[in-house]
Amino acid sequence: MIVCVCNRLKESSVRNAARAGATSADEVYTHCGVERNCGRCQDEIELILDEEQVPAGMEKAA
Give the number of C-alpha atoms closer than 13 A to the C-alpha of residue 32, restricted to the C-beta side. 27
Task: Write down the pLDDT at residue 62.
Answer: 53
Task: Write down the pLDDT at residue 26.
Answer: 96
Q: Does the structure show a pLDDT above 70 at 47?
A: yes
Q: Which CATH architecture has domain 2-53?
A: Orthogonal Bundle (1.10)
CA dist 12 → 55, 61, 62 (Å): 18, 24, 25
Task: Please state the length of the chain.
Answer: 62
Average pLDDT over residues 6-30: 97
Helix axes 11-19, 25-32, angle to 10 degrees: 100
Task: Write down the pLDDT at residue 1.
Answer: 94
Mean pLDDT for the chain overall? 91
E-strand stretches of the chain:
2-4, 9-10
